[in-house]
Homo-oligomer: A and B are copies of this chain.
Amino acid sequence: MKKLTVGIAGAGRIGRIHAENLLGHAGARVKTVADLAPDRIRAWASGLSIPNVTADAGDIVADPEIDAILICSPTDTHTALIEQAARAGKAIFCEKPVSLDIGQTRQAVAAAERNGVLLQIGFNRRFDPSFSRARALVQAGEAGEPHIVSITSRDPAPPPSDYIRVSGGMFLDMTIHDFDMARFLCGSEVEAVHAEGAVLVDPAIGGLGDIDTAVTTLRFASGAIGVINNSRRAAYGFDQRAEVFGSKGSVAVRNEWPNTVEFSAGDGVRRDKPHYFFLERYSESYRLELDSFLDAVRNGMPAAVTGDDALRAERIAAAAKRSFAERRTVAIAEIETEIWQAG
């Protein structure tokens, strides 16, 4: 089996994870990493035997030997890179969100389609062994028809103000994973959204016009109801749970722990906190999403997470944002119509 040759745009936290997961991978090798601060990453790249480091992601796009690009650079660079890579015929893996503007996302997705290149979006949680097992059980009908899809998603600590400022807001930055998960688990499309939000964690977040606590209710086309509760700060770490409750039963995903030790003493029974954050909790999912991408590229199969999935999640996020702002239920059709008119 010939190895695929891969370039990575952006060597921040997530770009490095992907590069390390490709080390000694049977199906791929990393040829080039692009980063705006190339000197910062040379030692790291050399330790991984990555041959090329560049400041210009264009070098990846222009390299005919490179089969696929992983776009891990800042969000505002995503759509331009997707369009360039699409024209160059590269297979594309892009981190979420594709952009903060649904119109731009739509154009980038269209560019990939037009050029016939594979585009996979980094909704990594779908590949987590627990969430993918839950989805498989639901798809196999074990829970019957879904009635209620409930997701708990809380971060251990809020991001810094500089991040919040350019994040697009909580719904687009954080809940977007949960919107995708809700669709993935329910197997039906969201038709309407009602969002309740608050600033309870950090007044600075409120000062930036954002919220840090939210409960979002979804109405699915199937009639099922979804509900997502979010917080930017859980004192005990990363809280990532979900439940699909249906006519035949309930499929639940619980948190994961760094160890299984239980300590019983005179003052009660204790265990350590769950995993701290996504790097620990979702490490396996990053490996598996890349395997899925590489398999799809090699076998000419559709992506497991498509541009359409990105667009749909972004639309739900836009509806949630508007619902909270206008204190009313917002139909997804409203957002679609506007995009269409704007496009």
Residues of A in contact with B (beta carbons under 8 Å apart) = 20, 23-24, 26, 47-49, 129-130, 133-134, 137, 142-145, 147-148, 150, 152, 154, 194, 196-198, 200-201, 213-215, 217, 219, 223-225, 227, 229, 231, 233-236, 239, 245, 247-256, 258-274, 327-329
Is B272 in contact with A269, judged by CB distance below 8 angstroms? yes
Is B271 in contact with A268, judged by CB distance below 8 angstroms? yes
Is A255 in contact with B247, judged by CB distance below 8 angstroms? no
Chain B neighbourhood of A267, CB < 8 A: 273
Q: Is the interface of A mostly helix, strand, loop or mixed?
A: mixed
Take A23-B23, A258-B129 as given contacts and tell me if A264 and B250 are in contact as well, using a CB distance cutoff of 8 Å.
yes
Is A272 in contact with B147, judged by CB distance below 8 angstroms? no
How many Å lie between the Cα of A271 and that of B264 in the bound state? 9
* 8 A-B residue pairings within 8 Å (CB atoms): A24-B48, A129-B259, A200-B247, A214-B225, A234-B264, A235-B250, A267-B273, A270-B270
Q: Which residue of B lies closest to A194 (CB)?
A: B194
Chain B neighbourhood of A217, CB < 8 A: 194, 196, 215, 217
Chain B neighbourhood of A233, CB < 8 A: 247
Chain B neighbourhood of A274, CB < 8 A: 264, 269
Shortest Cβ-Cβ A-B pairs, 7 listed: A249-B265, A23-B24, A236-B264, A130-B259, A254-B260, A235-B266, A250-B264
Is B272 in contact with A133, judged by CB distance below 8 angstroms? yes
Identical copies of this chain, number: 4
Chain B neighbourhood of A239, CB < 8 A: 250
Is A252 in contact with B261, judged by CB distance below 8 angstroms? yes
Residue from B143, B223, B270, B328 within 8 A of A200 (CB atoms): B223
Is A264 in contact with B252, judged by CB distance below 8 angstroms? yes
CB distance from A215 to the nearest CB of B (A): 5
Is A200 in contact with B145, judged by CB distance below 8 angstroms? yes
Is B272 in contact with A249, judged by CB distance below 8 angstroms? no
How many Å lie between the Cα of A33 and that of B42 in the bound state? 29
How many Å lie between the Cα of A38 and that of B142 in the bound state? 47
Is A130 in contact with B201, judged by CB distance below 8 angstroms? no
Take A147-B200, A148-B229 as given contacts and tell me if A262 and B252 are in contact as well, using a CB distance cutoff of 8 Å.
yes
Chain B neighbourhood of A23, CB < 8 A: 23-24
Q: Which residue of B lies closest to A128 (CB)?
A: B259
Chain B neighbourhood of A236, CB < 8 A: 249-250, 264-266, 268-269
Is A263 in contact with B223, judged by CB distance below 8 angstroms? no
Q: Which residue of B lies closest to A142 (CB)?
A: B263
Q: Which residue of B lies closest to A251 (CB)?
A: B263
CB distance from A208 to the nearest CB of B (A): 18
How many Å lie between the Cα of A245 and that of B212 in the bound state? 13
Chain B neighbourhood of A137, CB < 8 A: 261, 263
Take A20-B24, A24-B49, A147-B231 as given contacts and tell me if A249 and B262 are in contact as well, using a CB distance cutoff of 8 Å.
no
Chain B neighbourhood of A20, CB < 8 A: 24
